[in-house]
């Protein structure tokens, strides 16, 4: 994505705002929570994790009785939903902090307020699923819940880092949900509907974050851009781990041995490949905005999230293609 002129940037934002006006979802209007098909039974085999899920592919998980696979799957989905609610709560507060300081007439205000409205519905949707699942999951690890009080301040203090954080949370979950939806595997209709709604609206949110950073990063001073080039992969990897990996308490509640968690995230060849594929789009963004330099490339490699960037944003990952085959 090349940088747009100011007029093109603002027109594109207005287009996103119009899309949010005419195509949006509400947590308690667009999901029929009480429909019999959406009833949650922990033993329902439709909760068995799809092959597209990193844990669902692991031999240990596949060797378990179907009823246990289903219960673990439901708990994993519930924990992911809880983390999603927590992350989007931070996003909402940070975006509110950012738009508070915008000048009159800036079209970012309208779009980002639309985005916050959609994210509020996402938090309701995720928490309602957790409540109905019967799984008392904690979501994000304790350290994240402590720093989450401070993270929204970056919305106004350093918006480039804040929107990097938005992408760091949104890209991995979007990648994982698209892989499951594309796989054709049987998924419980309630969670399938939740993923469909989330993927549809996150497309706009991710698009804006990419465009925002493409516009802002080249305008940063040399020193600030150098710091961001190193912070960018660190933020990506840190928040991806928060989103994707069940912490020790969650994995123990699911009865998953710690060695299995370590293999899946990210010590096995399959896990390492998936980790790199999660960041193909943001590597493209880093290349386009000049954040890939000699120093930052070493950081990407050290964090094991280096590799070929996407040829275009949203390019399907080979892993997802194999899972669908």
CA torsion angle 286 291 294 300 (round to 10): -50
Mean pLDDT across 99-113: 97
**Contact assessment for residue 66 and residue 286, using Cβ atoms and an 8 Å cutoff:** no
d(CA 96, CA 113): 8
Predicted confidence at residue 322, as pLDDT, reads 44
d(CA 85, CA 27): 13
CA distance readout (Å), 268 to 97, 240, 259, 264, 272: 40, 17, 11, 6, 6
Mean pLDDT across 221-246: 95
Predicted confidence at residue 317, as pLDDT, reads 65
Domain borders along the chain are: 6-20+63-324
d(CA 30, CA 11): 29
Per cent of the chain over pLDDT 90 is: 87
Q: Does residue 230 or residue 319 have the better pLDDT?
A: 230
Per cent of the chain over pLDDT 70 is: 96
Superfamily of domain 6-20+63-324: Ribonucleotide Reductase, subunit A (1.10.620.20)
Mean pLDDT score across all residues of the chain: 93
d(CA 298, CA 296): 5
Burial classification of residue 247, based on how many CB atoms lie within 10 Å of its CB (0-12 exposed, 13-18 middle, 19 or more buried): buried
Q: Which two tokens stand for residue 191?
A: 């969670």
**Contact assessment for residue 264 and residue 55, using Cβ atoms and an 8 Å cutoff:** yes
Predicted confidence at residue 184, as pLDDT, reads 85
Predicted confidence at residue 1, as pLDDT, reads 52
d(CA 213, CA 158): 12
Question: Following DSSP, what letter does each residue of 169-197 receive, concatenated?
Answer: HHHHHHHHHHHHHHH-----HHHHHHHHH
pTM exceeding 0.95: no
What would the pLDDT profile of 34-67 be if each residue is shown by its tens digit? 999 999 999 999 999 988 888 999 999 999 999 9
């Amino acid at each position: 994505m090349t940088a747009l002129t100011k007029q093109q940037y603002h027109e594109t934002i207005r287009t996103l705002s119009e899309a949010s006006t005419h195509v949006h979802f509400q947590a308690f209007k667009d999901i029929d929570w009480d429909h019999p098909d959406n009833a949650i039974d922990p033993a329902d085999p439709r909760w068995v994790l799809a092959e597209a899920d990193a844990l669902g592919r692991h031999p240990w998980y596949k060797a378990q009785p179907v009823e246990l696979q289903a219960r673990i799957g439901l708990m994993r989905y519930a924990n992911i939903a809880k983390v999603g609610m927590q992350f989007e709560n931070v996003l909402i507060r940070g975006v509110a902090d950012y738009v508070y300081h915008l000048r009159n007439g800036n079209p970012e205000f309208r779009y980002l307020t639309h985005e916050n409205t959609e994210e509020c519905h996402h938090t309701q949707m995720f928490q309602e699923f957790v409540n109905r699942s019967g799984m008392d999951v904690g979501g994000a690890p304790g350290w994240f819940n402590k720093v989450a009080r401070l993270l929204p301040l970056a919305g106004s203090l350093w918006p480039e880092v804040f929107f990097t954080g938005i992408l760091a949370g949104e890209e991995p979950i979007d990648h994982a949900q698209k892989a499951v939806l594309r796989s054709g595997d049987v998924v419980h209709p309630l969670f399938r509907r939740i993923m469909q709604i989330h993927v549809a609206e996150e497309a706009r949110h991710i698009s804006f974050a990419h465009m925002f950073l493409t516009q802002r990063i080249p305008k940063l001073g040399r020193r600030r851009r150098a710091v961001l080039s190193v912070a960018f992969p660190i933020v990506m990897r840190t928040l991806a781990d928060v989103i994707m990996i069940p912490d020790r308490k969650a994995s123990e509640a699911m009865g998953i041995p710690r060695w299995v968690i370590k293999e899946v995230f990210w010590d096995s060849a399959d896990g390492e490949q998936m980790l790199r594929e999660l960041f193909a789009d943001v590597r493209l963004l880093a290349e386009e905005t000049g954040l890939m330099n000699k120093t930052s490339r070493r950081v990407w490699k050290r964090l094991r999230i280096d590799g070929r960037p996407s040829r275009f944003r949203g390019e399907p990952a080979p892993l997802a293609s194999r899972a669908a085959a």
